[in-house]
Chains A and B, each alone.
Chain A
Amino acid sequence: DAGVIQSPRHEVTEMGQEVTLRCKPISGHNSLFWYRQTMMRGLELLIYFNNNVPIDDSGMPEDRFSAKMPNASFSTLKIQPSEPRDSAVYFCASVPEGTTEAFFGQGTRLTVV
């Protein structure tokens, strides 16, 4: 199993540009989470999907952020327009059905200049 796959691994973009982060969860896992990690705030939950349906998006910081999960094998997190304060490592994690043990992808390091 290849694990949770995220792309790109690194992204540098200019303020105001649109950024799309991608995630492929582990096959058979039915829950998917997007987290953001910074030194100041640690790992923050952004949004949680269960069976492709958004369950809790209360962590999405503002309307500039949106997330989709069109099918069980793919999810995107979009930031439009991006701002320097969005710079962080964004992690995707998936969870097998019937458990609560999350498996993380390698993360996307986003830098907005």
Chain B
Amino acid sequence: QKEVEQNSGPLSVPEGAIASLNCTYSDRGSQSFFWYRQYSGKSPELIMFIYSNGDKEDGRFTAQLNKASQYVSLLIRDSQPSDSATYLCAVNERGTALIFGKGTTLSVSS
């Protein structure tokens, strides 16, 4: 059974702080790793993907991957109230569907 684990939160951070979201996965064959953001009542939207070990930066977002530890993280710098949402980690192998974690709820207070 392939599993993706996330702390459900809520994770509360003040505006301007760094938010750190973490995810672990069970399938060592996983090749692609994604972070989706889901606002309440809306559909998930892709914000980052990473395929190789190390860091990948996109604006205020940095995704980090450590395949040896089966660990993926998302850092959000200069957090804004508009970042308040549920963040879903997803992984897959080539040719298979995305498997999602249950998500971490982030709350950024102004």
Number of chain A residues close to chain B: CB under 8 A? 20
List the A side residues contacting B92 at CB < 8 Å. 100
Listed stretches B12-20, B68-76, B77-85, B99-107; interface member = B99-107
A107 touches B103 (CB 8 A): no
A-B contact count, CB below 8 Å?
48
We find that the number of chain B residues with CB closer than 8 angstroms to chain A is 21
Q: Which chain B residue lies CB-closest to A56?
A: B97
- On whether the beta carbons of A91 and B43 are closer than 8 Å, the reply is yes
- Which chain B residues have a beta carbon within 8 Å of chain A's beta carbons? 32, 34, 42-46, 49, 88, 90, 92, 94-103
Residues of A whose CB lies within 8 Å of any CB of B are: 33, 35, 41-43, 45, 48, 50, 55-56, 91, 93, 100-107
